[in-house]
């Protein structure tokens, strides 16, 4: 597998004040956490990060309100304006650097810079607003990044769609992993990230051979 540069990004200290990598760290991997506005990217990174996550959340202003589609997320009062960052160590010495990308079209210019050096992406999807994910999925596919899809389980999300229907609605390739997660729950969010990591390992296995 090819990995992002090994320099440790600057980040705020965790609760213990320790920002250092664990001694077991072997492979450092940059991962994007992508998805439309209000899908839970900041929440997911915050739920799994072993250091205090860096957030660039700002209140939604009167100027930005007409640009941000609040349909289905009326209770949301803030938005990411640059990047979220967190870090999580996985078994086997793999350390994921998680970069949350803004979901609005007006932040598209940031995409290339944030995506540089990433090995893959976890795309969060709100099944109440499937069409809101199309632009982000298009960006990820255009960049050539392998990805997995995680359906964030909002309490009022519809439960009657089958996996086949959801995959068809998102136009996912047969080999693209799709899982359900609760971005508020650490274990659930880690499982979604592990699905992506396993997908990346499978894709890069032929290269290793």
**Model confidence over 21-47: pLDDT tens digits?**
878 888 999 999 999 988 999 999 999
**Model confidence over 104-125: pLDDT tens digits?**
666 677 888 889 999 999 999 9
Query: Does the pLDDT at position 61 exceed 70?
Result: no
Tokens describing residue 162: 């089958």
pTM more than 0.85 = no
Q: What is the pLDDT of residue 38?
A: 87
CA distances, 155 to each of 30, 69, 70, 72, 167 (Å): 30, 20, 17, 12, 21
CA distances, 178 to each of 170, 195, 199 (Å): 10, 8, 11
Residues 6+ apart with CB under 8 A from 13: 19, 51, 52
Nearest to 87 by CA among 99, 73, 104: 99
Q: Does residue 58 or residue 91 have the better pLDDT?
A: 91
Q: What is the pLDDT of residue 97?
A: 97
Q: Does residue 185 or residue 15 have the better pLDDT?
A: 185
Q: What is the pLDDT of residue 182?
A: 96
**Model confidence over 140-183: pLDDT tens digits?**
999 999 999 999 999 888 888 899 999 999 999 999 999 999 99
CB atoms closer than 10 angstroms to residue 167: 16
Helix, strand, coil shares, percent, the chain, to 5: 30, 20, 50
The distance in angstroms from the start CA to the end CA of the chain is 11
Q: What is the pLDDT of residue 18?
A: 56
């Amino acid at each position: 597998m090819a990995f992002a540069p090994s320099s440790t990004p600057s980040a705020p200290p965790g609760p213990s004040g320790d920002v250092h990598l664990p001694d077991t760290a072997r492979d450092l991997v940059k991962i994007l956490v992508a998805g439309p506005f209000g899908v839970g990217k900041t929440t997911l990174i915050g739920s799994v990060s072993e250091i205090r996550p860096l957030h660039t959340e700002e209140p939604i202003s009167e100027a930005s309100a007409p640009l941000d589609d609040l349909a289905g997320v009326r209770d949301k009062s803030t938005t990411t304006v640059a990047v979220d960052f967190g870090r999580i160590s996985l078994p086997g010495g793999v350390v994921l650097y998680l970069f949350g990308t803004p979901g609005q079209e007006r932040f598209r210019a940031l995409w290339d810079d944030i995506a540089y050096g990433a090995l893959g992406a976890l795309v969060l999807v709100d099944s109440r607003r499937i069409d809101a994910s199309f632009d982000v999925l298009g960006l990820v596919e255009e960049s050539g990044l392998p990805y997995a899809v995680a359906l964030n389980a909002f309490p009022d999300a519809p439960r009657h769609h089958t996996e086949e229907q959801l995959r068809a609605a998102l136009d996912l390739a047969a080999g693209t992993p799709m899982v359900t997660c609760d971005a508020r729950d650490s274990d659930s969010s880690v499982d979604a990230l592990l699905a992506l990591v396993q997908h990346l390992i499978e894709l890069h296995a032929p290269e290793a051979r």
